[in-house]
Structure 1
């Protein structure tokens, strides 16, 4: 495993992080989830990402139990707040009441006194940004989080939030966007703004919900047990990539991966890590062997000719419009 600083902060994290969205507490039984987390630890991963909304809080609980007994100072634990976690009007969003209650609930489920990074899971257009940032500042000052970050914020939102964080003397150090060789919307605006502000990216779905592994073949039935057949939510996220034009081009990456001595999944993870503003790529898993294989992307350096060839193959199907950033008001 190799390690990077998160943005311009002093926090060092593993360049491959383990995340449990759509798996722990839902798609994968707890015993299997614990085995995946053990595989991550054995592979040198120290950074673990979750959220209060994943599996209605069960994902945090599963992660907390699996990490029990680990030296707390030796791991970096991240969680998020924003999406509804209950029926009440204040069981959601980035208002002060919800943030201060949500952090306590997350800490209880995770079985820890603090998280290393507390993230706004989306931008909340219904709450003054000042209220949100002041509440996050109080979370940090109370010792319940070491740093703050966000997920899927636009460049303008990052600038506004960072300016308030500086006024409040709170370390705002990260953004967690979707990013892969197929989904490149952060490159035009979010990455330049983040470089300017000292914010690092912790990217999710580097293998495009499994599409960049090559397991979905054009014109073939969906593999049984794959993300695309998951009726608990996974199928909806992967559906946009299950077009023959996309799948055919992914298959054309296979000779490049073979030449580099990598699997297609390892190539995809190494591709996002080539971006110096990316501090970590989040991988998920339903089996320990998936973790063991995907972490082999750590430390891989892809040569310029291979990167050019990848761009040429994927350019017709890759998405790069910055307006598609999830935090854009038009996409809410």
Structure 2
């Protein structure tokens, strides 16, 4: 798609936001468009906010967002973005999905953001295509929609259907859109307004840990953390990590002590337990499977380590979380329950 800086009519955007969505994901959609209007000195984007019932939407942070109307037919435009968060089963029914299926025919681009990816998958719009979701639920997303090619990329564009795995990747996706529609100079100006100095390509992999400037300041420490991320199911000894990284074990220990005030073994265990904690709270995956997925060779070893970290057994934690937020019958973690 060639930049169309000469286009005079605004790019018409419809943003559908569901309750229990992230304010950061919403801002990552709206603010790049606002900034593009500002730097170009004209209204290059014009958008409407809609909700499933036409009422204000309460986000996860407790902030209500006013909308311009209800997501209903007829509807068309250039770009349709669907932002979803937790507990989709509470907020989306068959009518919403049918509306999405019909509306998609009348937009040039249709994008699913965070749990919005699940809605595009459920609607059948992504069948036979490449797509992504938030890194926490990539495996579940892949199992739920076997007709898709699920990638761990920050965002994925496959024809008119785009998917994004989180707030920061959504900002990258919007910069990508601005580059396509308005040219790279405008995209750079927009990124500069937000002091966003690390524009990502679609195929950059979603990290478990957002390292920020650590990668530039201490690349060896960053490489160690990335290696830990890739080996959660089969954790390595500290000595084996050091050998894979071609450094001494002593140097690896110094890197973690200096950069994170902890040991590599303690950080590795904490990373595995953090992933396990999300699975315990936000999924219905059996505890034994969670233990294996996070590198514990027995359920008892997992339970002991988890209880030391969170002062509660995994089963008690799951029961308490379900009492606060009843689980959905199926779907991804973000679609099921709120963290």
Category of TM-score, reference length = shorter chain: 0.3 to 0.5
* TM superposition score normalised by structure 1: 0.34
Larger radius of gyration: 2
Which structure has greater helix proportion? Answer: 2
TM-score by length of 2: 0.33
Report which structure shows greater RCO (CA 8 Å, sep ≥6): 1
